């Protein structure tokens, strides 16, 4: 991807130093020191051999006298597709699985407890084409499909909880499709699944040609390492979606995404939304995006009067973690595959809730009543005009 900006961090580090860099880090990231975690020599060597970036950062909590630390090592993987999109479906999928397994193995060797991939990680993001064939052939069972079976073995091998976003074929309900995150326990069992709540209808992202809004609510999955939830891609634009995962007790919320840097893209919002969610809901968030250009065999249009094209634009990676205090770590590259690891103390969630009182002061009763009025067919907005008495 010659000519593309490597990352925001590269721009900053190339142009700031000493006190200016410290001040930028304090104001933008929330701390001067990123608290980098030392990686194994074998990890660094494997990343170099397989051409992916790897980084790790700590999010410590204050020491308590009544609770021991709850240290969890969490990883996210961003990556590009492996072979051209005109190759047979199984060949494409197997190539991605083989490529990503090398990164999963490194995560396992680093002792990652919970691992999450980008949205629909085992396939190209082909929904822009609006073609049903061959892309629907990527769909598979959430419980027993080949991707889940592949990951179950790795989950057991590394005692790792794995969050896998796939195109689900619901075999028990007329074979319809869903955009689904499967949560696999470190025991190898499927704990459950969550289907994407909010489906975009924006330019090339008209995904409702393939699947509709999910029907699983806002589940939180109680794993051995903590309570986790999955806010899939477009759901990050909906603050109530984030809020409900918090109300159900989530300690870490993953946002597996597929979003681009094109004119109608989201890059300027990317560094804000998952971070805002961590702040307002007092939990950890992980934002994960895919990488690279994906060119399809046939041209498609975006419904904007512009010429037809064969790709969506650059999927800009830039995956990152944020703590409940709003402090975030540097993101991964915009252009390279990568593994990002966070060593987090989940005790920080309650410490921040006690400190900032956001839950205590959020007034759910008032908003529930107001939203009930909004849903009434006779609703009138509460607007006060100067001439009214």
Catalytically annotated residues: 119, 196, 233
Q: 35 with 27: CB under 8 angstroms?
A: no
3-state secondary structure of 122: coil
Q: Phi and psi (nearest 5°) for 170?
A: -85, 95
d(C-alpha 289, C-alpha 291), whole Å: 7
Name every residue whose Cβ is closer than 8 Å to that of residue 101 and which is 6 or more positions away in sequence.
154
Closest CA to 297 of 88, 79, 2, 96: 88
Q: 259 with 233: CB under 8 angstroms?
A: yes
Scanning 80-158, the segments in alpha helix (DSSP H) are 89-109, 146-157
Full DSSP string of 156-203: HHTT-EEEEEEEEEETTTTTEEEEEEEEE-TTS-EEEEEE-S---EET
Q: 221 with 187: CB under 8 angstroms?
A: no
Q: Phi and psi (nearest 5°) for 312?
A: -80, -20
Q: Phi and psi (nearest 5°) for 57?
A: -140, 150
d(C-alpha 83, C-alpha 96), whole Å: 8
Q: What is the largest CA-CA distance in the chain?
A: 74
Which residue is listed with tokens 């085992």? 122
d(C-alpha 257, C-alpha 137), whole Å: 21
Q: 207 with 126: CB under 8 angstroms?
A: no
Closest CA to 184 of 172, 193, 171, 173: 193
Bridge partners for 260 per DSSP: 315
3-state secondary structure of 328: strand
């Amino acid at each position: 991807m010659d000519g593309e900006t490597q990352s925001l961090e590269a721009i900053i580090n190339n142009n700031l130093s000493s006190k200016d860099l410290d001040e930028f880090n304090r104001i933008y990231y929330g701390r001067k020191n990123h608290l980098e975690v030392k990686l194994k020599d074998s990890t660094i060597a494997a990343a170099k051999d397989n051409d992916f970036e790897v980084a790790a950062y700590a999010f410590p909590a204050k020491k308590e006298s009544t609770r021991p630390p709850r240290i969890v090592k969490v990883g996210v993987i961003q990556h590009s597709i492996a072979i051209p999109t005109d190759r047979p479906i199984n060949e494409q999928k197997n190539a991605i699985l083989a490529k990503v397994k090398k990164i999963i193995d490194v995560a396992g060797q680093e002792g990652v407890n919970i691992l999450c991939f980008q949205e629909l990680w085992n396939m190209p993001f082909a929904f822009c084409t609006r073609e049903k064939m061959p892309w629907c052939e990527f769909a598979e069972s959430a419980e027993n499909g080949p991707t889940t079976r592949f990951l179950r073995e790795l989950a057991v091998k590394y005692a790792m909880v794995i969050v896998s976003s796939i195109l689900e074929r619901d075999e028990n309900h007329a074979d319809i499709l869903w955009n689904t995150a499967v949560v696999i326990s470190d025991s190898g069992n499927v704990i459950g699944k969550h289907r994407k709540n909010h489906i975009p209808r924006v330019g090339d992202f008209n995904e409702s040609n393939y699947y509709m809004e999910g029907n699983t609510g806002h589940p939180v999955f109680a794993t051995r390492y903590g309570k986790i939830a999955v806010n899939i891609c477009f759901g990050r634009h909906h603050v109530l979606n984030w809020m409900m995962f918090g109300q159900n007790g989530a300690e870490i919320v993953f946002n597996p995404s597929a979003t681009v840097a094109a004119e109608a893209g989201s890059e300027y919002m990317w560094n804000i939304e998952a971070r805002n969610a961590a702040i307002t809901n007092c939990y950890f968030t992980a934002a994960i995006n895919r990488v690279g250009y994906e060119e399809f065999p046939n041209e498609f249009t975006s419904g904007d009067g512009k010429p037809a094209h064969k790709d969506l634009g650059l999927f800009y990676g830039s995956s990152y973690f944020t703590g409940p205090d709003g402090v975030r770590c540097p993101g991964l590259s915009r252009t390279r595959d990568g593994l990002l690891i966070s060593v987090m103390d989940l005790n920080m969630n309650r410490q921040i809730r006690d400190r900032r009182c956001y839950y205590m002061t959020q007034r759910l009763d008032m908003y529930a009543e107001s939203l009930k009025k909004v849903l009434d067919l006779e609703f009138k907005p509460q607007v006060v005009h100067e001439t009214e008495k």
